[in-house]
A = this chain, B = another copy of it.
């Protein structure tokens, strides 16, 4: 499997990093989205607040994890997401922006998104973390391609977080094996999640200067790739996307 995104290895002291196989098609996402990238400040503000939302979900997963091993692996993923958040806050500060003011316009819609996707039990929380962290970080790495070159690279590196996909997948597979009737409920939950997640992704682009109908048409093949990656995640659980 080609590895088209750089992986950080900083955490390799404490455990083997989770290597996420990513498709060739996702490389194209980066190119396609670059032209629809908003200005640096709203991009960093939205991505910065979004990472807090992804963190909240991982934090709930840490709290509910039934074993020490799952808890500590998920906490590593949560830590990387917070580190990425802080990295974006640092970028805002060094550009002279007020990080709180940059994030604030995205608070209400992203809090609303979080409430919709947070899930009601351990299984739903796992599905949320598993599906949304990958989708949204892939997407925002793609959008970051349109930022000024140095910033684009730093942001792509920050957003290349450990998604703990292996542990999430393992926990979910064992839940579904123990209770196969859970599969249809989780498949439905996954579909609802991804609908809400695509709306959040789109909203990042609508803010782009000059974005209009024809430009937005260009997003469709991008979403096709992201949904392909999403479908592979669902397949790995034996669920229908």
- Among B62, B83, B93, the residue within 8 A (CB) of A79 is B83
A90 to B96, CA, bound (A): 36
Nearest CB of B to A98, in Å: 10
B56 in contact with A52 (CB, 8 Å): no
Nearest CB of B to A133, in Å: 15
A164 within 8 A of B: no
Q: Helix, strand, loop or mixed for chain A's interface? A: helix
B89 in contact with A72 (CB, 8 Å): yes
A120 within 8 A of B: no
**Which B residue sits closest to A92, measured CB to CB?**
B14
A68 CB contacts on chain B under 8 angstroms: 49, 100, 103-104, 107
Q: Which residues of A contact B (CB under 8 A)?
A: 11, 13-14, 48-49, 52, 55-56, 59-60, 62-63, 67-69, 71-72, 75-76, 78-79, 82-83, 85-86, 89-90, 93, 99-100, 103-104, 107
Q: Contacts A52-B71, A67-B100, A79-B79 given; 17 further ones with Cβ under 8 A?
A: A13-B90, A14-B86, A52-B75, A55-B78, A56-B59, A59-B78, A68-B107, A69-B100, A72-B85, A72-B89, A72-B103, A75-B82, A78-B82, A79-B82, A79-B85, A79-B86, A82-B82
